Amino acid sequence: MGEINYRSCMQNRELSWLKFNQRVLEEANCLDTPLLERLHFVSIFTTNLDEFFMVRVGSLIDYMQYSPDYYDNKTGMTAAEQLAKIYRACVPLYALRDQAYERLCGQLALAGLTCLRMADLKKADLREAEEYFSREIWPVLSPQIIDPSHPFPHLANKSLNVAVSLKQGGEPVFGIIPIPAAAGRLFFLSGEERRYVLVEDMVAWFADRIFDKFKVLDRGIISVTRNADMDMDAGLFDEDVDYRQHMKKIIKRRMRLSPIRLEYQGELSEDVVKFLRQTLGLEKAQVFRSRAPLDLTYCYTLDTKITSGMKKQLLFQPFVPQPSKMVEAGRSIIEQVDERDILLSYPYESMRPLLNLLHEAATDPEVISIKITLYRIARQSVLAEHLIEAAENGKEVSVLMELRARFDEENNIERAQRLEDAGCQVIYGMDGFKVHSKICLITRRAAGSIRYLTQIGTGNYNEKTAKLYTDLAILTANQRIGEDAAAFFRNLSLSNLAGEYHDLWVAPSNFKQSLLHYIDGEIARAKEGKEARILVKCNSFTDKELIERLIDASMAGVKIRLVIRGICCLTPQIPGMTDNIQIVSIVGRFLEHSRIYAFGVGEETKVFIASGDMMTRNTERRVEVACPIYDPAIRSRLLGIMDVMLKDNVKAREQFADGRYILRTPLNAPPVNAQEYFMQEALKPAPAAQEKPPRKARVPERRNFLAYLRDYFQGRS
C-alpha cells in the first residue's frame, strides 16, 4: 500500500471559516425565523467578518512581512495565496449580505418597521430630521479638510466616517467627518409608525451644510479595519511589568494598528476610493463596497424600540432557562452533588444550581477554599459577587483570570481588580498559554476528611451567554476528579504545564494524547472486526495530527460522526479514505458551543465533555480541561444529545466531498430541529418524585478510614 495522501482530504482553515460565516448569513433567509431575528443574523455575519479580518487576515499579513517562509500545513498555500483567495471569496459574500439586508428591510417595512434614506424623506420629515441634526448632531461633529496643512486623520478601528470630495475653484480636496459615538446610530421620526434614519446617512446628507464654503462632488460612508492580531505576551512576563497595565496598553494600541481593509457605502468616485486606498496603504483587493450599512449592530437597538405587539411578530418568543430536573428545589445543592453527579445543559436549563452552589459554599463553615478559572464573565456577574462574598467570609478564594480573552480584556481587567480588592488571590494566565479551561474546585472539611466538589464545563462562567450558548457543565463529588482538579490548580500556580493527571485531560499535558489514545482504541477494535464508533461535537476542527488519525480510523472501518459548527479542515465522504466520516454543522437560534467526545459502542462507550476543540491552539497552545462522565444516566443523556443533533434535518447542513455544505430538508422524514427539541424537553414537567430509600452514610476514602472510625466512636460521625 502506497503512502497515504492525507492532504487530499484537507481544506484551508480560513476558507472553511468563510463557508461557516456564509451558513450564518443563510439564516437570514430562513422563512421560519422572525424577521428581526433574521436581521440579527446579518449583523452577526458582519461582526464575525470584522473579527475575521482583524485577527485571521491580520495574522496572514504579519506572516507575509515577518515569516515569508510560512505556509498552511494542510493545503501548502503561502500567506499571500491564502489572502488572495480570501479576498476573492469575500466579494460574493458582500453581495449576498446586500441582498439579504435589502430584502429584510422591505419585509420589515411591510411589518411597520421602516428604515428610510434621507433622500426618501418627505418635506415634513426632512424638517424634523434637520432640526434634530442641528440640535443633537452638529454640535458634536469634528469635520476636517485634508490638505497640506491638515494631514489625513487617524481613523479608529471600525469607526464610521463620512468621506467627501469637495471643490472650491481649484483642484478637488477631500474631507472627513467622523461619526462620534455620542451621536448614536438611529433617529426615529415622529408618528405612530416606527420609521427611522441612520445617523451616518443623516451626516452624509448634510455634508453641504457642514462644508458650506465648498461644493460637495460626492459623498459616502467609510470604515477602516485594522490589524488586531498582536502578541499579547511580548514583554509581559518581565519581573517589573504590571499585567493589568500592560493589557490596558494593548487595548489602546489595537485601535491604532495598520489598516488591512477599507469598506465604503455610497457613491464614491474612483478618484476618492483611489485616494483613500493609497493613503491607507491598501491594495485594490482590500477595498469592499457595500450597499448595506457597514455596522449593523444597531439592529439590536430596534428590539427595544418596537411595540410589544411587534415584538411577538418580529422576534423569537423569549425562552426562559428551566430548572434542572436533576436538582431538587429547596435542598442543599452541596448535599445533592455529594450524593450524585449533576449535569446542567445551557441554555435549556438554568445556571442557577451552579450559582447556588457557590453561594452556599461562600457561607458554609465547612468550606475551606474555592478555586476557579475565569475566561469571559458577565459585566454584572452574580458569580463574581459570590466569590467576593466567600473571600469576605474568610474562605481562601483563588481566581485564575485570563486577561487575554480577545476583545473582552477590558472587562476582565476591571473584574480582576475588584476581586483582588475583595481579598481574592488573582493569578494572571500562563506564559505563552491562554487559560481557556472552565473548572471550579470547592474544598470542604467533612467528617474529619477533606472532600472535593468539582465543576467542569464547556462554556464560560457567564450568566448572559449561558442563556444564548449551548453548553454543558458537570457537578461531581468524585474524589479522583477532585484530586486531579486540586493538582491542576497547584500546577498552574507553579506555572507547571507538564503535570500528570489520572482522570482529567489537561492541555497541553495530555489532552491531545488522550484523544489520540481513544481514536487508536477504536481503530484497534475495527481491525479486530468489532463495531467501532467515534462521536464528536465541537466548534472547530483544525488539528492536522487529529485529522490524519481520523482518516486512518475511517480507512480502518470506524464509523465517525462529527457535529462541527464552524471551521472544519477535514473533508468527509472521499471514497477509500473518509467515506466512513459524516460531518454536519448546525447554526440556529442558540450558538452551538458545547464539546462532547465519545468513543465506543453500547455500554462500553466512553464519554467526555471538554472546554477545548480539536484545534491546534486548544490542544497545544492553551490550557484546557476535559472530564470523563462516569454516571450511566448522564452518559446516556449526552449520547442522546448527539443522536438528536445528528438527526437534525431543519438547521443541520451536511458537508460533502466537494467541500459544499447542503441544508438538510425533511422530505421523507418528520422534521427534527435539535434546538427546538431540547427547548420542548426542558419545558416538560419533571417526573413525579418517587420515595427514596434512606441515605447511606458515605464512607470516606480508604486513607481516611481510621479517622472516620475515631470520629464515629467519639460520636462525631
| Structure confidence by residue, pLDDT tens digits, 103-118 | 999 999 999 999 999 9
**C-alpha neighbours within 13 Å on the C-beta side of residue 615:** 21
pLDDT, position 412: 67
Catalytic residues: 436
pLDDT, position 239: 46
> Is the omega angle on the peptide bond into residue 180 within 30 degrees of 0, that is, cis?
no
Q: Report the C-alpha gap between 186 and 202 in whole angstroms.
A: 10
pLDDT in tens, 552-576: 999 999 999 999 999 999 999 999 9
CB 653 within 8 A of CB 662: yes
pLDDT at 215 over 70: yes
Range name among 70-74, 171-175, 416-420, 478-482 with the lowest pLDDT average: 416-420
Q: What element of type H or E holds 449?
A: strand 449-457
Q: What is the mean pLDDT of residues 529-553?
A: 98
Q: What element of type H or E holds 367?
A: strand 367-374
Q: Report the C-alpha gap between 619 and 105 in whole angstroms.
A: 43
pLDDT, position 467: 96
Q: What is the mean pLDDT of residues 360-388?
A: 93
pLDDT, position 700: 40
Query: Where do the H-state alpha helices sit in 53-134?
Result: 58-66, 79-110, 123-132
pLDDT at 303 over 90: yes
How confident is residue 448, by pLDDT bands cut at 50, 70 and 90? confident
pLDDT, position 701: 42
pLDDT at 695 over 80: no
Task: Enter the pTM of the model.
Answer: 0.90
How confident is residue 583, by pLDDT bands cut at 50, 70 and 90? very high
Q: What is the mean pLDDT of residues 638-662?
A: 97
Q: Find, among 494, 481, 509, 697, the residue nearest to 609 by Cα.
A: 481
How confident is residue 230, by pLDDT bands cut at 50, 70 and 90? low
pLDDT at 253 over 70: no
pLDDT at 407 over 60: no
pLDDT at 705 over 80: no
pLDDT at 708 over 70: no
**pLDDT more than 90, % of the chain:** 81
pLDDT, position 413: 74
Q: What is the mean pLDDT of residues 568-588?
A: 97
How confident is residue 428, by pLDDT bands cut at 50, 70 and 90? confident
pLDDT at 242 over 80: no
pLDDT, position 709: 38
Q: What is the mean pLDDT of residues 157-166?
A: 96
Q: Report the C-alpha gap between 353 and 330 in whole angstroms.
A: 11
Q: What angle do CA 48, 51, 54 make, to 5 degrees?
A: 155
pLDDT, position 702: 39
How confident is residue 707, by pLDDT bands cut at 50, 70 and 90? very low
CB 222 within 8 A of CB 161: yes
CB 505 within 8 A of CB 514: yes
pLDDT in tens, 65-84: 888 899 999 999 999 999 99
pLDDT at 541 over 80: yes
pLDDT in tens, 456-471: 999 999 999 999 999 9
- Per the prediction, the chain carries an average pLDDT of 91
pLDDT at 409 over 90: no
Q: What is the mean pLDDT of residues 286-313?
A: 96
Q: What is the mean pLDDT of residues 541-561?
A: 98
pLDDT, position 234: 42
**Higher local confidence (pLDDT), 671 or 267:** 671
How confident is residue 408, by pLDDT bands cut at 50, 70 and 90? low
Q: What is the mean pLDDT of residues 145-170?
A: 92
pLDDT, position 406: 57
Q: What is the mean pLDDT of residues 135-149?
A: 93
pLDDT at 188 over 90: yes
Domains of the chain in sequence order: 6-314 (3.30.1840.10), 333-503 (3.30.870.10), 506-683 (3.30.870.10)
How confident is residue 686, by pLDDT bands cut at 50, 70 and 90? confident
pLDDT at 478 over 80: yes
pLDDT, position 687: 78
Q: What is the mean pLDDT of residues 319-347?
A: 97
pLDDT at 715 over 90: no
pLDDT, position 50: 97
How confident is residue 698, by pLDDT bands cut at 50, 70 and 90? very low
CA distances from 123 to 70, 115, 118, 129, 191 (A): 59, 17, 11, 10, 15
SS3 letters across 347-359: CCECCHHHHHHHH
Largest CA distance in the chain: 104
pLDDT at 361 over 80: yes
**Higher local confidence (pLDDT), 503 or 708:** 503
pLDDT, position 344: 98
How confident is residue 378, by pLDDT bands cut at 50, 70 and 90? confident
Q: What is the mean pLDDT of residues 545-551?
A: 98
pLDDT, position 692: 52
pLDDT at 339 over 90: yes
Helix (H, G, I), strand (E, B) or coil at 168: coil
β-pairing verdict for 581-586 and 559-564: parallel
Q: Report the C-alpha gap between 292 and 95 in whole angstroms.
A: 9
**pLDDT more than 70, % of the chain:** 90
